[in-house]
Every structure is written in C-alpha cells, then in structure tokens.
Structure 1
Amino acid sequence: MKRERIIKLLLVGVILFFVVRFGIIPMLSGSAFKEYLGRITADKYNFSENEYAVIVVGSEPEGIAAAVSSARTGLKTLLITEDSDLGSYIKRSMIAEIKPDEGIIGGKKENLNRGFYKELFGSLRLGFTAEDYLSSVENLTKQIKNLAILYNCRLTDVVLEGSLLRHIRVNVDGQERVLSAAAYVDATQFGDLLDLCQVPYTTGSADLNLPDTYMPLAFNFMVSGVKWDDMRQIQKTSDFIHQFRQVLMAYQPFYKRTKIESPTFIEQSEDKLIISAIRQWGVNVNDPEDVKQAYADAMDEAILLTAYLKNVLVPFAECTFEAAADELFIPEYRHYAGRYTLTVADILENRDFADKIVLASAPVDAGKFVGNGLSYIITDPNVYAIPLGCIIPVNVDNVLMPGAKASFKSLAATSAGHIPIRITMGESAGLTAAWSFLNNRTPADILSMTGEELDTFKSYLQRGGVFLKDISEKLMDASTGQPLENAWAYPYIRELAEYGLLAGGEGNDFRLDSESSCDVMSVLLKNAIVKIAPDAYNFNVAGMLEAYETSDRLTGEKAASMILDALGVSYTPGEAFNVLSGLELYRKVPEGKLTQNGGVTMDVVYCLAVETARLMK
C-alpha cells in the first residue's frame, strides 16, 4: 500500500512537471512571464552588497527597459545614472511625441514595439509632457522588485580581464565604490562604459570618409497663450494642422544652419504646446563649442519664430515664448564596433537573422548629406531584423550596447536608431543579460549557439514581451513592380545605397526603366568616384564631368564619352561608344540594354557609375 502511494506521488510529480514546463511556462508572456521567473529565481542566488547579476549604465529609455526587464526575472539588478532623475534625453530635449514602428509582415501591418514600450507609453497620450514621462517611468520602476537605482552616480573606471568586464568604479555623492556583475548593459546615449572599455568606434559618417558629418540636431520649445477655442473653431472649416505646417514652412530662418523641417505641434496642458520644427544642420557633434553655438542660434530662432506665429495665425495672436529644451537632441554621434555591423543592404533586403532581438521598419534617411532640408530617403523597408551581434562589442564578451550607438553603418543607423527601436532593443538587452547569468554564459556565447538553441532563445525573448517573427518580405521596386533583389542591376544599387548615392524615396522607386539625362549620370559618376576611388578624383576629372551637367537626353554615345573622359582614354568624337564597347566594362551591361544612339535607363547608369569607379580604384 505504502509502495503504491509512493508511485502515485511520483506520477503526480512527473505530471505536474510536464504541465508547468510545457503547459504553463509557454503560455506566459511579457510581464507575467518575467514575474514567474522572478518567483523561481528571487531566493536562489546570494549576492554581496556591491555585487549584482546585471548592471545597467544610463537612464535613457533603453536603459529603463533593460533594467526593468532584467529585474523582473528575479535577478538582482542595478541601474546607475549621472542624473538626479530618470528623465534622460526625453526630458532634457523636450521630446513630447513618439510613435511605434509599424512593419509589413505577410502583407499585414504590425506594431513592432510592444512589450515594455507599450507599458511605458501606453498610458500616455500621443503628445505628452516631460512630467508625464517622468511620472510614468518612476511609477513603473518603483513597482519592480530586485531593482536598485543609484542617482548622481558617475562612472570613473573599469577592470577588465581579457575579454570580460569584471568590475566598474563609480563615484556616488563624492564616495568611490567598486561594483561587479556577470553582465553589463551600456544604455548611455553616447557609450560612456564602452569608451572606458576601449571599444573601437567611428564618429558621424566616418565610414563614408565624412567623420564630422552628422544627422541634424533637433530643438524643441514651448509657447503659451495659445487660444485652443479659436484653433478648434478653425478646425471645423479647414485643416488647421496642415495650415500650421504650411505657415511654418514659409518662415525664413535667420541663421544659415537652421532649417524648418516636418513641423508639428504637441498639445500640452491648458494653453501651452510644444513646437518641434527647428533643426540645426552641419553641427560638428564632436566639438562642444559648435554644439553650444548651435543651441544658442536655435534659441534665438525659436524666439523669432514665436513672434512670426503671433502675426500670421489667429490662435497664436497672444502667444509667448515659454521655455526651451535644455539641450539639442543629438540622434547620432558614435558608432561602436560590434560582432556584426548592420548595413543598408540588410535593410534593403528586409533581412532576417537567426539571432534577431528586434524588428524595425523606419526609412533610411540620407538627408544629412543634402543640407537643404529636402527629403532624401534611400529606402523605406517593409520590415527587417536587427541581430544580437550588433549590440555585443567586438572586444568585450559580457557587455551589451543597445541604442543608436550600436554596431550600425552610419546610414543604417538613421533607421535602426529610432527611439522606439532603441527601447525594444534595450528590453531585449536586459532579457539577454539575465539569460546569460541564469545559463552561466556570456552574451557573446549566444552567437555560437546552434539553430535549435537560438530558436529557444528567441522564444524566451518573445515570452519576455519582445515582438519577434520570422520574416521573408521582399522589397518591391515601384518602377517595375518586381522584387528589387531580382533586378540585374541590384548589386550596383546595393553598393550605391551603402554610400547614400541614390534614393528610392518612401515609395521605393529606383526608376530602373526610366531614361536618364546627362546631368544625372555626371553627378552620380562623380560621387561614385569620390566614394569608391577617392584617390583618383581630382580637379581635372571634376572639370571634365561638369561639362556634361546638362539636361540633355543621355545616349550611349554621351555616356561612353563621359566614361572615357573620366578614365583618361582618348577617342575620336562620335566614336566613343565604339571604343567603350571594346572594354570589359561594356560587357557588364546585359546585351541590348546599351546602344550608341538609344536612351540610357537608370539601371544601366547605376552599373556604369560603379564599374567606372572600380576601374579607377
């Protein structure tokens, strides 16, 4: 009898194990899953006073996401910040509007930022105040067990053993402390921890030989005295939002570096609103004095713009300049080297990765090279994945680096560095750091796991609240209606896109079958030479190509003349095409696509520009 009872108990135990392991746990997701993990791990590990499972440096939104996600697994987690609160760049730059990324997966529009992003911003209206954001963050973090926060905490030094970060030294209210963890997350905006770990980086567009070229800096400001009743009355008979934008776009800035771009207003309390329109171009982010001057110029411009609004819009007739952001928002500074570097080609191809940690869909914007405020979208992807390798430094195994500073090519960062993507990236970083501790492995070890193990890891992130799906979307070229990757000229499109030398726009129209004019090929050829064969570009080459900058129809003969002049190959006028047809370059174009007197389509222009530059390299 006793033996039968023992057997029954054993069977019940086995059944319960399988129900929990394969029934309950897979059904849990998001905060419920993390709270479940918390209950089973909270009392399992003993830590000394200055020891943690995970330490997150930086209170930016991605840092909050990482710290909360880690702590919810039940692991002792520390968040350190130099600030006295958790407002970060959201508060300092007066950012009052953030929209989640939306991607197309299987023909269906999907919200790509769920989980922690929804928790943080779900209770806030579309336009929010700094106080709203700060209150939401503080209320959320106060509820998290196992999470400690050190304010006014300055990172001073690190202790490395080979490729592992063992300890960090900090100064808290004048006292030095040594802290240690199994895994670290650098969630600072510019990579404070990474810099101390001597992780290599480039600045701005240095990967394109333009180290001091950065995305424009945003300046937001608040006005008061706005008559909402008048605004709502106007809205009944006209589109006031459109009118507001048109009025702002008509404003002529006083300072040369100041542009008015994508103007919006975000309603605040009572009679106040935040205006987001001023962008400072050509600022060298690596030069503090230049950033300081750009801020002063933007402040003056905001006051002038307020006076302008008083005179042209009835609801603003009694408005006054109320306040300005404490600092310019800097979307781009350093790009740290990781185990994988995301490229524009990855985005063009809507690429999936087995070790993906976040999905994204923002356009790739090369507007920083234009300098006149015009839109210059290289491509607008359906959806693409960012792999874990992008947030693991090339030389440190147990540090993660979510945010715009991650291992992205500078142009790819204009898409992958959007704030909603940063937040979800931070959430995945926190979960990854916790997983590493629980499995006694470093984040870098995950990169060498088998496909089956990576699937298990992906399921863990999904249950933690991160929206991840396998994707197989094809970017369609609007001009042909066919997948861009299938075009014979795609390798050239991909190379030119990496340099920011062509733009499909928001409609992904690369005009493959459209005929080109002479000036289009001349300008593209010059820029291709500068990027691909910079040593071959000189005043002589520039002068010869400038002679072709006319709106004349581009024929095979004119294209050949342009190429031969750039290469320094002599020819008899009218015989350039015959000379070109004897070169290997000519055979790169499909038969029949390039004739002496026929027009030259853009796909052929892309090919000729790249192949000519390669010959000059």
Structure 2
Amino acid sequence: MNVLWEGDVIVAGGGSAGCAAAVATARSGARCLLVESAGYLGGTGAAVLDTFYGFYAPGPTSPRVVGGIGWEVCERLFATGSAFERPNTYGAGTGVTYEPEALKLVWDELTAGVTVLLHARVCGTGDEVETVAGRFAIRAPVLVDATGDAEIAWRAGAAVERPGMRLQPMTTTFRLGGVDLSATSAAELRALMEEAGDAYGLARRDGSVHRTVHDGIVHANLTRVSGLDPTDPLELSRAEREGRRQADAYVRFLREKVPGYGSAVLLGTSIRIGVRESRRLKGRYVLTAEDVLAGRDHPDTIARCGAPIEDHDAGAGTRWEYVRDHGTYGIPYRCLLPAAEAPGLVVAGRSLSATHDAHASARSMGQCMAMGEAAGTAAALAVESAAEPADVDVDVLRGRLRANGAIL
C-alpha cells in the first residue's frame, strides 16, 4: 500500500475537538495530519448547530471557563460580526451564536500549519485512510481519535461503552427565513407546542428557536429522534430520514399556529443529523455525575466545565441538574486515555470516558475544543519525548496549556 503521508500526529475527525487538537499539535511544532470525512472543517458546529455552549458556566456571575484555541475561535468570529453572545433559554450559561459559514473559514485559517485531508476517513486501526483515490497508508507515532464515536479507539480494541446502552436522542436542526421572532416569546412557544403537539405529532415540546446573526432568520433545535443507534449504518440512515420528517412537521406547526411564522420559509435542514451520544471511551478515569454535581477538581484537570447535566430523554422533556453552588468542575486528562494499553492513542471530544449523566454535561462544544487542545498538546509532548501519551508529564502539559491561554 502506498504511503500518502508520514509525520508526527494524526488527528481523526475535523470537528470542534479535532480541529483544536490539530491546531495545538502544529503550534507545538509537530507535523500533523487532520482527516475529515466532509468537505469542510467544524463538524457538528458547522453542519448542525450555530451556538457554542460550555464557554460560560451558568449562575449569577457566569464565569468563562474555556480559553485557549476555543476562545480564539470566538474572538475571530466576534471580530467580523459573525457571532454574538446570548443567554441560554434554560439557564445553561451564556452561549456564543455564530454564522456556520464563517466558522468554516475560521477553522481553515487556524489550520494553516496543518496538513488537512478532506473527503477522507481514517480506517483500520488508524494507519490507513480511505480517499477518493482509494486507500493509502498514513504513518505517525501518535493518533488523536476525535471522531466523536470513538471509532478509532473501538477499531484498535480499546474498551468502549457500546451503543445499546441508554443513549440521548439525535436531532435534525433547521433554519427559517421571514420570521418575526418578537411576536412570540419562548414561554409562549412552549405553551403552543404543548397545546398543539399531539395534532402535529411533535416529538419534543421544550426545544428552542433563536435568532441568528441575520435579521429575520432563526435557527430551530426542536426535533427528537429516539431509539436509534448512530453507530449502526442502517439505523443512522433511518434517523436522518426521520429527522427531516419531524422538521417538516415542526415547520407546518410554526407556520400555522405560531405568531410571527406565518410567512416563514424553510432555508434548509442540517447537513447531517446531530448526534449527542454514541460510543464512549472506558478510560483510566470515568467522570461521574457525582464529580459534576459536586464541582470536583482533579490533579490532572485539563479542561473546566460548569454546564448542567442536560439529559434529553426519549419522551418530550429534558432533565436538568446543575453543579452545586453555581460551581465548575475539572475534566481529568485520564478521561482521554484508554484504560487498557492502546499504543499512541489519545481520545478527545464527546467520546471522553464518562458515565451517561456526566457525559450529558461535558459534551458541549466549548469543552470539546478544550479537550481537543489538551489532546493535541499532549500528542506533541509525547512526540517530543518519544513517549506514550499516557506517560506525558501532566504538570508539563498543564503548564503548557495555561501558557497558551487555557483555563484550568
């Protein structure tokens, strides 16, 4: 098999975690290959959503808990008028709403020092890549699994929590133009969904519709596709179709029942369905609900979070549980490391090692970027010292993250 690329670090997945990991790796002086299956970078942040959560903790002071590369992304979006801050509908902390097309360009700019391979997938155990020109070998001593599904860790034989466990549902988002958002409050919208939900077959009654950076255009996070496994190819395909069906039902409901939406035009559904949860790594430490709610810190904390447990159940509601005393908690580096030996592998993003409940807090894109930056920095340190990622000096890692603006 021909070798397409050889270097220091391979990052599988170009979403929030993977992009941050690749930027951190390159800035640390390591040669990095970033592989993404789509034709753009940004992952769910560019394909499904338009708001970053997790940058701020909820509560009266609402401190910012994510810095570094993630905050640099926000600052670049703010600078071009492509983002603004807004309160979360359910008190989960201030969100950063942005234009997804602008986000794609920001990640293109930030990854200038990275070899970016689009329209490709890392396969095998991380040493091969499938492209439009066929399959090639890729070579590096360290691999960051930022696929979101722990796909490379699973293929490499690392222990994972497999789907079939209780999973949060998937969501297809959509955008509408020609909306007067001032005509109906969020509370009034929820009341109308409760009142007319059965008639329209609405799967969820507590979602959100919010303004965007463009006048008259809103983003809707309303659908709920439950009971399907996002790592099963047939079930994922069914979920995509069901998500679009539900989006159509919500659009009809909004036009016919909600003031301000009578002339609304559907501008598009999300490029792919949004997956909240799939495989999770079984790491050297498993983050728990107790860690989250008690606001625990750890000696190897590499990211902070103040987000509540936001558990979208299979019914029409969502369970919210908040960190005690409006506090925050630390995400340990050990949550990114496989429990059993998996040479050269570190995981970043929503497939971190955590229980279902803890994952429902730590999965926000702000934390994914922070974990990605930590994973990429650790990968570069491992290359520098010819060591395994698990053997990186955590004090050195934390010091380098702080020096680069991370909040620990």
Which of the five TM-score ranges fits, normalised by the shorter chain?
0.7 to 0.9
**1:333 and 2:278 aligned:** yes
Alignment deviations for residues 138-187 of structure 1 (CA, whole Å, 9 cap, x no partner)? 22223xx3x111122232323xxxxxxxx712233324432222321111
Gaps in structure 1 of 5+ consecutive residues: 1-47, 159-166, 205-210, 469-617
**1:169 and 2:124 aligned:** no
Which structure 2 residues correspond to residues 137-156 of structure 1 after superposition, within 5 A? Answer: 137-142=107-112, 145=113, 147-156=114-123
Task: Look up the SS of the partner of 2:224 in the other structure.
Answer: strand
* Paired position in structure 2 for 1:28: none
Preserved contact between residue 129 and residue 136 of structure 2 (Cα < 8 Å): yes
The CA deviation at 1:413 is 0.8
Q: Relative to structure 2, which stretch is displaced further, 83-92 or 385-394?
A: 83-92
Preserved contact between residue 303 and residue 321 of structure 1 (Cα < 8 Å): no
Preserved contact between residue 286 and residue 354 of structure 2 (Cα < 8 Å): yes
Which structure 2 residues correspond to residues 108-127 of structure 1 after superposition, within 5 A? Answer: 109-122=62-75, 123=77, 124-126=82-84, 127=97
For 1:219 and 1:410, the matched residues in 2 are separated by: 21
Task: Identify which of 163, 180, 198 aligns with 2:157.
Answer: 198
Task: Look up the SS of the partner of 1:258 in the other structure.
Answer: coil
The sequence identity of aligned pairs, in percent, is 21
For 2:345 and 2:146, the matched residues in 1 are separated by: 10
1:118–1:379: structure 2 CA closer, same or farther, 3 Å change rule? closer
The CA deviation at 1:104 is 8.3
Greater relative contact order structure (CA < 8 Å, 6+ sep): 2
The CA deviation at 1:109 is 4.4
Letter in 2 for 1:359: R
Letter in 2 for 1:465: G
Task: Identify which of 4, 9, 19 aligns with 1:64.
Answer: 19
TM-score by length of 2: 0.85
Gaps in structure 2 of 5+ consecutive residues: 85-96
The CA deviation at 1:130 is 2.5
For 1:217 and 1:157, the matched residues in 2 are separated by: 27
Q: Which runs of 4+ in 1 moved over 6 A?
A: none
For 1:104 and 1:311, the matched residues in 2 are separated by: 35
* Paired position in structure 1 for 2:145: 186
Q: Which of the two has higher C-alpha Rg?
A: 1
Which structure 2 residues correspond to residues 573-612 of structure 1 after superposition, within 5 A? Answer: none
The CA deviation at 1:388 is 0.9
1:436–1:111: structure 2 CA closer, same or farther, 3 Å change rule? same
The CA deviation at 1:422 is 0.9
Which structure 2 residues correspond to residues 100-499 of structure 1 after superposition, within 5 A? Answer: 100-103=54-57, 109-122=62-75, 123=77, 124-126=82-84, 127-142=97-112, 145=113, 147-158=114-125, 168-204=127-163, 211-226=164-179, 228=180, 231=181, 240-253=185-198, 258-267=203-212, 269=214, 271-368=216-313, 371-381=314-324, 382-394=327-339, 395-446=341-392, 454-468=394-408
Letter in 1 for 2:332: P
Task: Look up the SS of the partner of 1:457 in the other structure.
Answer: helix
Which structure 2 residues correspond to residues 11-22 of structure 1 after superposition, within 5 A? Answer: none
For 1:390 and 1:92, the matched residues in 2 are separated by: 26
Preserved contact between residue 102 and residue 112 of structure 1 (Cα < 8 Å): yes
Task: Identify which of 51, 67, 88 aligns with 2:6.
Answer: 51
Task: Look up the SS of the partner of 2:51 in the other structure.
Answer: coil
Number of aligned pairs?
386
CA RMSD of aligned residues (A): 2.7
Preserved contact between residue 96 and residue 266 of structure 1 (Cα < 8 Å): no
Preserved contact between residue 21 and residue 374 of structure 2 (Cα < 8 Å): yes
The CA deviation at 1:270 is 5.0
Task: Report which of the two has the higher share of helix.
Answer: 1
Preserved contact between residue 167 and residue 278 of structure 2 (Cα < 8 Å): yes
Letter in 2 for 1:220: T
1:403–1:246: structure 2 CA closer, same or farther, 3 Å change rule? same
Alignment deviations for residues 80-126 of structure 1 (CA, whole Å, 9 cap, x no partner)? 12222214222332x11123343489x96421111111111232313
1:337–1:212: structure 2 CA closer, same or farther, 3 Å change rule? closer
The CA deviation at 1:241 is 4.5
Letter in 2 for 1:181: A
1:280–1:170: structure 2 CA closer, same or farther, 3 Å change rule? closer
The CA deviation at 1:314 is 4.1
* Paired position in structure 2 for 1:32: none
For 1:63 and 1:113, the matched residues in 2 are separated by: 16
For 2:370 and 2:305, the matched residues in 1 are separated by: 10
